[in-house]
Structure 1
Amino acid sequence: MNDIKYRHEHKLYINIGDYYILRSKLKNIMNLDKNSKENGGYFIRSIYFDDINDKALFEKISGVNHREKFRIRFYNNDPSFIKLEKKLKHNGLTSKSSIPISLEECKKILDGDIDWIKSTNRGLLKELYVKMKNELFKPKTIVDYTREAYIYPIGNVRITFDKSIKSGLFSKDMFNVKLPTVDSLDPRIIILEIKYDEFLPSIIADTIQIGERRVTAVSKYALCRILG
């Protein structure tokens, strides 16, 4: 795996009842993410890239062992901090690298104006440039959701509840706060994500037991691409 830092990541679909039970327990042993607003959550908008053959989409659906995806995201409708991210999946483990980009740079990328990237020294940007040039990568769909996140220092644990998953369909108008979106998942269903480094502390593992539900292959990108 070279020098890439991989983590464990498990995802489950849970219902509203599960959410309230888990939330009440986790609040007693974990800290709310520092980026959370007063209501406990924060808004995330991402735009995902894929090639002309929708490779990232079909590799996810097929469960390919080693795959990657690129996205640009920002938080709480605030374009002052935007990130370009690459997420890797390998043998069931995940890794993520990211760099900040400016609003101007982001808009150029979304418009397909990328020749300026050749003069930068930012490796992740150049990776995206190569894929956009050679593999015809393009921004495919906008994914919106609200995230409630909790952290635990031992094991570097992060547990998140992702709610109100919505698709921007075919639009690339990422910074339009009035962008029309549609539900890509029943609003009563929440995505629970459990992330940690080498081990999951027993106090956390015991707390998140939720009956018969099983870890599954959840992809917000795939859910939203089904609609557009």
Structure 2
Amino acid sequence: MNSIKYRHEHKFYINLGDYYILRSRLKNIMRLDENSKGDGYFIRSIYFDDINDKALFEKISGVNHREKFRIRLYNNDASFIKLEKKVKDNGLTAKFSTKISMEECNKILSGDTDWIKFTDNSLLKELYIKMKSELFRPKTIVDYNREAYIYPIGNVRITFDRTIKSGVFSRNIFDEDLPAVNVLDSKIIILEVKYDEFLPDVIADIIQVGDRRFTAVSKYALCRVFG
């Protein structure tokens, strides 16, 4: 466990007024993520859970150590797909990821996983074991638009996530016309603040917005209500 690189991660619900204030401040000292197109990019993820919805209920219950698996793509670009495992441990987070092909993604989502036994990829093999022994299955698609800013000191990353939607009636992650429903009011935005060992004072001062407090936001949990 000591070899795992953990990061701090804090989340807030903010309103449009907060967003415009913070955005104008951040743009003066931080730069947009290099993968942004215009002011941001579109993210689509499909989350896995077991037959008892363990990941969902551990999140709701606030279990100190928990993990979740997802497949993610950006701007509907099927040439760059990632399988990710996110670990939460006593308030700190770590993420492991590996690139997979569109063919491999479709096989996983359809339950065709025996080929994974012959790969050397440890993350794929971990997912395979969970799909076989714990009946892990793709549960729901989560869509949203992200605006991301980075700051090198402290490896800070600040994101604004908006237009959060849950996919319904389908697990086809490549369907650009996938039916989806909004899970939050359009005026509510999720602010995420991530950093390594410390948060520079200049950033900490900027993100002070009224009486906002850290909150246990989970886009996966929000979307499971619908999907």
Query: TM-score w.r.t. structure 2 length?
Result: 0.99
Superposed CA deviations along residues 137-161 of structure 1, whole A, max 9, x for unmatched, are 0000000000000000000000000
Partner Cα distance (2:212, 2:155) in 1: 24
> What are the residue-to-residue correspondences of 1:46-125 with 2, within 5 Å?
46-125=45-124
Superposed CA deviations along residues 59-97 of structure 1, whole A, max 9, x for unmatched, are 000000000000000000110000000000001000000
> What are the residue-to-residue correspondences of 1:1-228 with 2, within 5 Å?
1-38=1-38, 40-228=39-227
What letter matches 1:35 in structure 2?
N
Query: Is contact 2:143-2:164 (8 Å) kept?
Result: yes
Runs of 4+ in 1 over 3 A off after TM superposition: none
Partner Cα distance (2:168, 2:151) in 1: 35
Query: Is contact 1:141-1:170 (8 Å) kept?
Result: no
Q: Offset of 1:17 from its aligned partner?
A: 0.3
Identity of aligned residues (%): 78
Superposed CA deviations along residues 85-116 of structure 1, whole A, max 9, x for unmatched, are 00000010000000000000000000000000
Q: Aligned Cα RMSD in Å?
A: 0.6
Q: 1:67 to 1:170 in 2, by over 3 A?
A: farther
Q: Equivalent residue of 2:107, what SS? A: helix
Superposed CA deviations along residues 171-196 of structure 1, whole A, max 9, x for unmatched, are 20110000110001111100000000
Q: Equivalent residue of 1:177, what SS? A: coil
Query: Is contact 1:163-1:187 (8 Å) kept?
Result: yes
Q: Offset of 1:227 from its aligned partner?
A: 1.2
Q: Equivalent residue of 2:80, what SS? A: strand
What letter matches 1:36 in structure 2?
S
Q: Equivalent residue of 1:59, what SS? A: helix
Partner Cα distance (1:182, 1:142) in 2: 11
Query: Is contact 1:169-1:224 (8 Å) kept?
Result: no
What letter matches 1:122 in structure 2?
N
Query: Is contact 1:164-1:183 (8 Å) kept?
Result: yes
Partner Cα distance (2:150, 2:34) in 1: 9
Q: What are structure 2's unaligned runs of at least 5 residues? A: none
Q: Equivalent residue of 2:141, what SS? A: strand
Q: Offset of 1:170 from its aligned partner?
A: 3.9
Q: Offset of 1:49 from its aligned partner?
A: 0.1
Query: Is contact 1:140-1:170 (8 Å) kept?
Result: no
Q: Offset of 1:169 from its aligned partner?
A: 2.4
Partner Cα distance (2:168, 2:52) in 1: 18
Q: Equivalent residue of 2:221, what SS? A: helix
What letter matches 1:11 in structure 2?
K
Query: Is contact 2:131-2:137 (8 Å) kept?
Result: yes
Query: Is contact 1:117-1:126 (8 Å) kept?
Result: yes
